[in-house]
Amino acid sequence: MIQAVTLTHFRGIADVRTFPLDPKVTLILGPNGAGKTSTGAAVEYALAGSCQWTDRGGKGAAVLVSNHTDKAAVELATDFGVISRTISAKGANLSAGDRTGKDAAAFLAGHLPQEAVLRAMLRTDGLTGLAPKEQQDLLFQVSGGAVDAEWFRANLTAEEGEILSDELTALVAGPALADKLYSAAYTLRTAANKRAKECQGRVQPAAATPALDADAEKQLAALRKKASTLREKIGAGKQSVRQQEAAAQRCEAAQAKVKQLREQIDALGAEPEAGDPDALPGLEEATAQAQRDLNAAKEALAAAKATEAGKREQLDKFRELAGACVIEGVECPLQAERRAEVEKTLAEAWMAAQVVRDDAGTAVNDGAEAVVAALAKLGEARTVVDAHRSWTETADTLERQVAEATAERDRLNGEYQQTGAPNMAALEEGLAKAEEQIGVLEQQQTAARQAELAAAQGQQAAKNLAQAEDRAALLDGLVRKLSPAGRPAQAMAATVGQVLAQINEVLKQMVDFVLMAQPGADFELAVDLGGDLPLLPVRCLSESEQLRVGVAVQVALAKVTGFGFVIVDEADRLDPEQRPKLLGMLLASGVQALVLATAANGHVPQAEGLTVYRLEKGVPA
């Protein structure tokens, strides 16, 4: 199985030490602190990747390195190759043969038991030191986990299996599945009990149920029809009232219009003077002639102004010559006296042109005044004529409108006289009585229907209660069946019991009691001392008895798993007379064992298949 163990700077082991292991039992003796426990822990660390000084995942392995160095190593020579683990401040490395890392870990997983089971084989308290729940899980794991969903389906009714169908599809078995089923059933039972309690609260004592009256239904229909007819009449009456009111308003509006038109006629006053329309054409012609005369005067003024300007220009040019001839270098032939006469003549002509211009301006002014006077006279005549014509037209229009408005008023009065309104008070009174009777009958019928509904609800509530109670009872039985003392106990007996039987086969070679799983809600390993004595939990045994039970568990697990190797530490806890029994059992078991103990009185046991090493300060003696 394991041929040799080589340790390099592993905790208390100095330098490099190799321990060839006997195919049967190897015993390492030494005082406290010599490195016995470190040797066992090194083998456990090499196989499982963890030991008592690390967590289960192997974290914290730096404490396994000796203080005076920075690296430690463990090497096992085994039937399936060399296993090596090195430890440093940077971490730990694994190799198995020529494999490393994850490949090496996968290789070991294929040759070693599962981690929890392996740890229980390499520590004497690997099983008994666990919590009861962990003990149960480990034993179930060793047994092969035969108690699975199919086992539970076979031990449940079809209805119970249907209730837990979802939970029975979980990818777990053994205690984990049993716990899952129990928890689900317990939760469902709690809900069912709550449901039953709620249904109980809804169940009411049966009460008399009034029957629906068929005659009342007919009477209700007749009253509703009557009320509908009255509502239609009231609606029509209200429409008639509105029409009559509208007709009255139209009559009033027509009368007001007649009054308004007459007031407008009165506001016109007396008929104004008619004037002489025939005189207008003569006045218009006189005005046009005055305008023509004005235009002629304006033309004459313009001509006079032009003549006056020409005369002035001649005078100015003659004066500018000042006696010079128009021909250069030739003196003017006119004498001075003659020039004065010519200038005087030109001046008199200019002044005469000014007079003509002034007279023409006076004629323009007179013509403009004549036009204004003619226009004023024409405007006055037109104003008188237009005022009379406007008054006459307005008076005629108003008289016509008064006649039309009076005719419309008389017509509307005739329509108003023809409109009429029904007796609304009588109609509304009849409707109120009909609705009152309808309300009474409807209340009676509603009460009857509510009573019928309450009766039906009461029947349904009773039915629901019966169903809820049946389901609660079913789930209560299922909870009891799935409680630790029920089917799970049977399951454990069918599986864990097989492992316990093999443990007891080993244990009987050292003690006179057997190991068993204590029944009840909480799983716990206990021993049967025989007779009428109660079962005694393993945790209550002496250290010597606990060690022997632990070794029996290790050996049985080694046989069950096929990995026949165990480590027994602190074997010196046994009494002197018990130590030979332990070694004898180990030698006869067929399992390879590494035993660690403090020597008693210097005695070194000897036997075939037993190799003994003595350690002194980490060095084999």
Task: With beta carbons less than 8 A apart as the criterion, state whether 570 and 41 touch.
Answer: no
> Does residue 437 carry a pLDDT above 70?
yes
**CA–CA dist 532, 247 (Å, integer):** 118
Determine the pLDDT at residue 485.
Answer: 63
Determine the pLDDT at residue 93.
Answer: 93
Q: Which residues contact 248 (CB under 8 A, 6 or more apart)?
A: 416
Instruction: Output b/e per residue, 532-570; b: 16+ Cβ within 10 A.
Output: eeebeebeebeebbbbbbbbbbbbbbbbbbebbbbbbbb
Strand 2-8 relative to strand 524-528, pairing: unpaired
In sequence order, which ranges of 322-418 are alpha helices (DSSP H)? 336-418
Beta bridge partners of 82: 77
Q: What share of the chain is helix, strand, coil (3-state, %, to 5)?
A: 65, 15, 25
Question: Tens digit of pLDDT for each residue in 190-224?
Answer: 998 998 888 888 877 755 555 556 787 888 888 88
Q: What sign does the dihedral 596-602-607-613 (CA atoms) show?
A: positive
Confidence of residue 23 (pLDDT cuts 50, 70, 90): very high
User: What is the arrangement of strands in the sheet containing 592-597, beginning at the earlier edge strand?
Assistant: 565-568, 592-597, 25-29, 610-616, 619-620
Tokens 């020597």 correspond to 599
Task: With beta carbons less than 8 A apart as the criterion, state whether 569 and 123 touch.
Answer: yes
Decide: helix, strand or coil at residue 269.
Answer: coil
Decide: helix, strand or coil at residue 173.
Answer: coil
Mean pLDDT on 545-559: 87
Q: Which residues contact 182 (CB under 8 A, 6 or more apart)?
A: 479, 482, 483, 484, 488
Other CB atoms within a 10 A radius of the CB of residue 376 amount to 11
Poorest-pLDDT segment among 7-16, 182-191, 331-340 = 331-340
Report the CATH number that the domain containing residue 360 is assigned in CATH.
1.10.287
**CA–CA dist 555, 582 (Å, integer):** 11
Task: With beta carbons less than 8 A apart as the criterion, state whether 434 and 191 touch.
Answer: no
Write the Ramachandran bin of 565: left for phi over 0, alpha for psi from -120 to 50, otherwise beta: beta
**CA–CA dist 513, 530 (Å, integer):** 7
Query: What is the distance between the terminal CA atoms of the chain, rounded to a whole angstrom?
Result: 25
In a domain, residue 316? The reply is yes
Task: With beta carbons less than 8 A apart as the criterion, state whether 50 and 56 touch.
Answer: yes
Question: Tens digit of pLDDT for each residue in 397-425?
Answer: 888 888 888 888 888 888 777 776 677 78
Kindly state the tokens that stand for 79.
């039937």
Determine the pLDDT at residue 99.
Answer: 93
Confidence of residue 230 (pLDDT cuts 50, 70, 90): confident
Determine the pLDDT at residue 328.
Answer: 54
Q: Which of 484, 464, 462, 482 shows the shortest CA–CA distance to 472?
A: 464
In a domain, residue 385? The reply is yes
3-state secondary structure 242-285: HHHHHHHHHHHHHHHHHHHHHHHHHHHCCCCCCCCHHHHHHHHH
**CA–CA dist 86, 9 (Å, integer):** 10
Q: Which long-range contacts (CB under 8 A, 24 or more apart) does 201-204 make?
A: 202/461, 202/464, 202/465, 203/458, 203/461, 203/462, 203/465, 204/454, 204/458, 204/461
> Does residue 322 carry a pLDDT above 70?
no
In a domain, residue 620? The reply is no
Instruction: State pTM to two decimals.
Output: 0.52
Domain count, the chain: 1
**CA–CA dist 311, 512 (Å, integer):** 178
Range of the domain at 339: 271-403
Give 159 or 243, the one with higher predicted confidence.
159
Tell me how far apart the 2 most distant CA atoms of the chain are, in Å. Answer: 197
Other CB atoms within a 10 A radius of the CB of residue 72 amount to 24
In a domain, residue 143? The reply is no
- The CA-based angle 392-396-397, given to 5 degrees, is 120
**CA–CA dist 355, 371 (Å, integer):** 24
Confidence of residue 593 (pLDDT cuts 50, 70, 90): very high
**CA–CA dist 42, 53 (Å, integer):** 10
**CA–CA dist 610, 591 (Å, integer):** 12
What are the φ and ψ backbone dihedral angles of 399, each rounded to 5 degrees? -60, -40
Write the Ramachandran bin of 608: left for phi over 0, alpha for psi from -120 to 50, otherwise beta: beta
Sequence letter at residue 130:
L
> Does residue 177 carry a pLDDT above 90?
no
> Does residue 484 carry a pLDDT above 80?
no
Determine the pLDDT at residue 566.
Answer: 93
> Does residue 511 carry a pLDDT above 80?
no
**CA–CA dist 4, 76 (Å, integer):** 6
CA 78 to the chain's CA centroid: 61
**CA–CA dist 126, 109 (Å, integer):** 19
Determine the pLDDT at residue 619.
Answer: 58
